[in-house]
Amino acid sequence: MIFSASAISTIVKKVSLTTAGIASIVALSAAGTHATTINTQVGSESLFSLPGSFSASDTIDLTVSGEVDSSPFFGSDGYTTNAAGILTVGSFFEQPVGSFFTTESGFSIGALLIGNDDLGFEQLFPSNEGNGLGSDTPPTTLLTGPVTLGSIFGSSFTATSLKFKIAAEEFALGAQSASSISTVGSFASVPNVYTLTGSISQAGGATAVPEPFTIIGTLIGGTAALRMRKKLKSTNI
């Protein structure tokens, strides 16, 4: 059976597939995605807590800028790092720019961590060449790029909150008494905060939606089949 242009137009109108209607159908394919915006600062023994229901498939896309000075324990030289814990200023014991020290937990001092008290924490930016290791001018703005939380915590990851904090450690050097031990993270001088901007995107399980022209074709085909059945029925009577 061949339909004229006017017949096809009538069928399309009957199913109300106007331009606006088609746009609404296409929009459904993205309706299940939710993004949580992050715009905060972390420093001076403070942390940022983000409540929610997170899973391994959620995607984080974060930009972290600034430097943190882990004084006063390191004296007048200070201990200023980027969010990967890479020194951006020469430190005590002539520790050069572009290097780092680690905590007993294996994190770079001054690095930004992500996790929670039950799950534990992971260093968000590795202390590698891409983040300033060995460089005379380590970057002070770092980007995660869109990465899944599963790539950070593992494929079985789930959490009801995420926290961001700075890696800290307690030190005792030489003959100093226990009472003189200071906690790295008691940031006494500036710069002393990391600024976090970005988002965590969560898929809501939206089902796939066919292309508009596929929908139109299916409706036209179905209508044609229905008319053919009616014609055959009338012929057999």
pLDDT in tens, 160-202: 999 999 987 644 333 232 232 233 333 334 457 899 999 999 9
The pTM score is: 0.67
Specify whether 91 is located in the same domain as 160.
yes
Specify whether 82 is located in the same domain as 157.
yes
Specify whether 92 is located in the same domain as 184.
yes
Of 55, 208, 82, nearest to 140 (Cα)? 82
Specify whether 13 is located in the same domain as 57.
no
Specify whether 215 is located in the same domain as 152.
no
Look at phi and psi of residue 25 and say left if phi exceeds 0, alpha if psi is from -120 to 50, else beta: alpha
Rank 71-75, 78-82, 126-130 by mean pLDDT and report only the highest: 126-130
> Quick check: 76 and 68 in contact, CB under 8 A?
no
> Quick check: 58 and 200 in contact, CB under 8 A?
yes
Specify whether 225 is located in the same domain as 148.
no
Amino acid identity, position 90:
G
Report the alpha-carbon distance of residue 71 to residue 192 in Å, rounded: 9
pLDDT, tens digit, 9 for 90 and up, residues 8-34: 444 334 334 333 333 333 333 344 678
Specify whether 177 is located in the same domain as 129.
yes
Number of domains in the chain: 2
Specify whether 137 is located in the same domain as 56.
yes
**Mean pLDDT, rounded, of the chain:** 72
Quick one: pLDDT band at residue 100, thresholds 50, 70, 90? very high
Amino acid identity, position 117:
D
Specify whether 137 is located in the same domain as 174.
yes
Specify whether 60 is located in the same domain as 87.
yes
Rounded to 5 degrees, φ, ψ at 48 are -115, 125
Give the domain extent around 99.
34-203
Specify whether 126 is located in the same domain as 213.
no
> Quick check: 57 and 173 in contact, CB under 8 A?
no
pLDDT confidence of residue 185: 37
Specify whether 46 is located in the same domain as 102.
yes
Quick one: pLDDT band at residue 45, thresholds 50, 70, 90? low
